[in-house]
Structure 1
Amino acid sequence: MEKIKIITDSTADLPDSILKKYNIEVLPLLINFGKDSYKDGIDIDIHTLLHKMDKSDVFPSTTQVNPQIFLECYDSYIKQGYKIVSIHLSSKMSGTYQSACIAKEMLQTEDIIVIDGMNVTSGLGLQVIKAAKLKEEGLKIKEIEDKIKEISPHIKSTLAFNSLDNLVKGGRLSKTAGVIGNILGIKIIVAVENGEMTVIDKVRGSKRTLRNMVDYIDKKGIKEGEVSILLHVGESDILDVLRKNLEEKKIEFIECEVGCTVGVHSGSRACGLFFIENY
């Protein structure tokens, strides 16, 4: 049985309980606030970040994990006899995946598999959890890679935002989409499609928003035996109702809070579900 290490980055937004359970290594992206830089989830948490953003005119930026960090991490585990599966946020959103590939090339080894998750936050988190479970089942790194690439296109999400201002400021959505999001009473339903954030619907009022999200989940269906992730940040008027709906349907889910890198772009008062569709 191969000795395998699962590595991801801080945008996977997985709770400590999951990271400890599966012994997952997380490399932090950087949050840059003016002249100060913070390691995501280590030097700053989401609540501190949102408070700083509320009190400041400066909009923070985020920086990818650099190749040297990956090189040192990979080299350490390879020397300990591990083989590595390294899964990261979409290459369309960050250069982190490219940094991981550079580090692998520098080490010139086939004992490292680097996967472009083509997703972010809990969509990435679902792939990381799946990889960890497959490792426990005894699969080899190439087999894990094949399975992750199989499910990746089937990871679906439905996320409700009260405001798209931060997504626009951070360059994750167009200004045109942002204008729509500021119309009074309109909530925006966003999803990750083809590795990028995209607006999939515009709904007036919380009840219709919730119905839209639930209908989307029901339409796609959740693959039997797979866990889903209920994601949120700050207060949301639909979070409790969505959680109750999932519990009533006996849908297995993990509840996670958005991390700092994703939180820069999401802002507060957002929630939604990431799941593997029934394919």
Structure 2
Amino acid sequence: MPAPVHELNGARLSRLLRAGIQRLLADQEHLNRINVFPVPDGDTGTNMALTMGAVLASLRRGADDHAGSTLTRAADAALDGARGNSGAILAQFFLGMGDSAASHAALSTAQFATAVTTGATYARDSLSEPREGTVLTVITDFAAETARLAATGLHDYLGLFSQALNKARTSLQRTSDQLEELRAARVVDAGAQGFVDLLEGMTDHLHLDVDAEPAEVTVAEAEHEAAAGETHDLSHRFCTECTITSANIDRRKLREQLAALGSSLVLAGTTRKSKVHIHVNEPAEVFRIAGLFGEVTGQKADDMQRQQQATHDRQRRVAIVTDSVADIPDDLLDQLGIHIVPLRIQFGEQSYLDKVGLSPEEFLAELVRNPKHPKTSQPPAGDFRRQFEFLASHFDAVVSINVTGKVSGTYNAAQSAAERVQSASTIEVLDSGNASIGQGLLATYAAELAAKGFDAAHIVAAVRKMIPLTRTYALIGSLEYAVRGGRVKPAVKSIANALGLSPVLASHADGRVAPAGMLFGRRHRRAKLIRFITRRMNSGQSYRIGIGHASAEADAYDLLDQLRCAHPHIESAFVMPVGATLTAHGGPGTLVVGVARSP
């Protein structure tokens, strides 16, 4: 029998937390499969793993013998890493524990019980509409039991955790009777199960040896477990999150303004740093309101409708991901289930999520209005990792097709994220050698193959074959915006305007997006562009075409009509507003043509 444990210093507490977190991480795929509340989008395991994984990384960076400092460090890491509803609740729970225990170098069972009770109160207060039958209920019941046990004079942590864990397990089983969604799906709450996983890992380590380093664990596969619940139309589509930093955040007013926008609001953190989680249809409005209260960072908006479809897709075994540089019509994104990781767009101090916080039309309006030229930045590797881990728990493989590495670090960010994902599923990251429409055509082709049931190896080989057969051409609307962005010198613009020259940008075989030629004269520019493009097409070959435009829809359709006349073998085509990447350099009137040989 292990010796009694009467107090936890920082080192012991760190080891217990790390053991518990590793148990939770190992169960993340199962947690994803049983996730049905508040939305059956299958990402609770991923979100809890990312939240507590941030705590694990922080604790591994160095030991601290002070228990209060260890909990404070865990709370800070949880808040920074918080993802999803359950992740935000856990972050607030640890914040309460840290605030309660901050001055204690070592915790008795009574002090630990007080910290847990404070954490449970903080967690409940973070929710605008607390629901029973969730992780909140199990946290509350666990806190009440630890307080009761400590009040009886129980000083041994072995007994405290063993008995309180039994209470938490009973509370977990009751969740399936407390929420209709869980009862119908015959599952317990996924967030609550994750919290019990955490407690089980801590309890087992107490029984083994609290002074030993916890053993490493691997993610348990759930390949034969079907996702629980059923898909349904969502009243609020985007799971939206951000962090607000300020000297003094008015959390009451912030909560009031955000609550009117959607549902599932969790406001974690303090008056200095707050983490917002809410389900809405207009993520941009969340970020706008958040900006009224302080500096906004860490914007995220996951499409829960698309996640839900992916979770319950019984036919497709390969998920396709791309970044927001790819221009793909919304109906194709929905039909083919393509997942998008957005880049960031910066206008001065204001940051947006590409195509989520700022649509192509809104971007163009801001480009014309704002004297500060926008900058785009690649998604953090963590954005890709979150997407990959979620999809890897529901699919046999994930294929990510990204903007050419010659113009962005996005491809490298995706590669870095893929290397860090612990999963039995295959994750392949491809450099499209393209941008905009061309990149979108490649991602669409990959998704069509996935819909037909092909495996990842076949899809990767087919896409790699198509990359050199796919090109993107752009006829910019005005050199003024390229000058503003520092891409073109003012003298070059003056010469081009004087001579009536219009540069054509194109993706090249080596992945560069650079000038490929000039059109002479301002008249009949679209006809000249058609001749420029068709000279580079095989007259006997069929092609897929996509045309993007920046506030030039009529010109785009006219361009398509002329292209159909000039080349009789256009297999398919679409017209859509073009995204920020090329519009930033060409402004209004820019036309983009993607050309891909038919497979």
Query: TM-score, with normalisation over the residues of structure 2?
Result: 0.43
Partners of 1:61 and 1:86 in 2: CA distance: 24
- Give SS of 2:465's match: helix
1:113 matched to 2:428? yes
Q: 1:36, CA displacement in angstroms?
A: 1.2
| 1:56 aligned residue | 370
The CA deviation string for residues 57-99 of structure 1, in whole angstroms up to 9 with x for no partner, is: 2111111011111111111111224410101101111111111
2:556·2:575 contact (CA, 8 Å) conserved in 1? Answer: no
Q: 1:152, CA displacement in angstroms?
A: 0.6
| 2:588 aligned residue | 268
Q: 1:171, CA displacement in angstroms?
A: 5.5
Greater C-alpha Rg = 2
| Pair 1:6–1:177, CA change in 2 (3 A) | farther
29-38 or 133-142, which deviates more: 133-142
1:44 to 358, 369, 373: 358
Partners of 1:114 and 1:175 in 2: CA distance: 38
AA partner of residue 584 (structure 2): V
1:25 to 320, 331, 339: 339
1:7 matched to 2:313? no
Pairwise mapping of residues 53-92 of structure 1 onto structure 2 (< 5 A)?
53-92=367-406
- Give SS of 1:228's match: strand
Partners of 1:166 and 1:149 in 2: CA distance: 33
2:473·2:506 contact (CA, 8 Å) conserved in 1? Answer: yes
AA partner of residue 546 (structure 2): I
Q: 1:2, CA displacement in angstroms?
A: 6.4
* Consecutive unaligned residues in structure 2, runs of 5 or more: 1-314
The CA deviation string for residues 229-262 of structure 1, in whole angstroms up to 9 with x for no partner, is: 0121123785343122134446231112111343
1:243 matched to 2:560? yes
Pairwise mapping of residues 116-127 of structure 1 onto structure 2 (< 5 A)?
116-127=431-442
2:403·2:433 contact (CA, 8 Å) conserved in 1? Answer: yes
- Give SS of 1:12's match: coil
| Pair 1:206–1:222, CA change in 2 (3 A) | farther
1:213 matched to 2:533? no
| Pair 1:81–1:144, CA change in 2 (3 A) | closer
1:197 matched to 2:513? yes
Q: 1:212, CA displacement in angstroms?
A: 3.0
Partners of 2:557 and 2:496 in 1: CA distance: 22
| Pair 1:153–1:178, CA change in 2 (3 A) | farther
Q: What is the aligned residue count?
A: 279
Q: 1:121, CA displacement in angstroms?
A: 0.3
1:222·1:276 contact (CA, 8 Å) conserved in 2? Answer: no
The CA deviation string for residues 135-176 of structure 1, in whole angstroms up to 9 with x for no partner, is: 123221121111111111111233222323334544656777
Q: Which structure features the higher share of strand residues?
A: 1
Partners of 1:55 and 1:14 in 2: CA distance: 26
Partners of 1:178 and 1:195 in 2: CA distance: 25
AA partner of residue 548 (structure 2): L
1:160·1:272 contact (CA, 8 Å) conserved in 2? Answer: yes
Q: Which structure features the higher share of helix residues?
A: 2
| Pair 1:22–1:181, CA change in 2 (3 A) | farther
Q: 1:180, CA displacement in angstroms?
A: 4.7
1:256 matched to 2:569? no
| Pair 1:235–1:149, CA change in 2 (3 A) | same
The CA deviation string for residues 9-56 of structure 1, in whole angstroms up to 9 with x for no partner, is: 111111110100101101110111111111111111122222222222
1:166 matched to 2:486? no
Partners of 1:78 and 1:24 in 2: CA distance: 14
Pairwise mapping of residues 91-102 of structure 1 onto structure 2 (< 5 A)?
91-102=405-416
1:173·1:198 contact (CA, 8 Å) conserved in 2? Answer: no
The CA deviation string for residues 103-160 of structure 1, in whole angstroms up to 9 with x for no partner, is: 1111255600100111100010010011011112322112111111111111123322
| 2:456 aligned residue | 141
| Pair 1:250–1:145, CA change in 2 (3 A) | closer
| Pair 1:272–1:59, CA change in 2 (3 A) | closer
| Pair 1:162–1:80, CA change in 2 (3 A) | closer
| Pair 1:176–1:116, CA change in 2 (3 A) | farther
| Pair 1:158–1:72, CA change in 2 (3 A) | closer
Query: TM-score, with normalisation over the residues of structure 1?
Result: 0.88
- Give SS of 1:105's match: helix
| Pair 1:73–1:243, CA change in 2 (3 A) | same
Partners of 2:422 and 2:390 in 1: CA distance: 14
| Pair 1:213–1:165, CA change in 2 (3 A) | same
| Pair 1:25–1:236, CA change in 2 (3 A) | closer
Partners of 2:390 and 2:421 in 1: CA distance: 11
Partners of 1:181 and 1:82 in 2: CA distance: 52
1:130 matched to 2:429? no
| Pair 1:84–1:244, CA change in 2 (3 A) | same
Pairwise mapping of residues 222-233 of structure 1 onto structure 2 (< 5 A)?
224=541, 226-233=543-550
* Consecutive unaligned residues in structure 1, runs of 5 or more: none
174-183 or 26-35, which deviates more: 174-183
| Pair 1:182–1:25, CA change in 2 (3 A) | same
2:541·2:597 contact (CA, 8 Å) conserved in 1? Answer: no
AA partner of residue 232 (structure 1): H
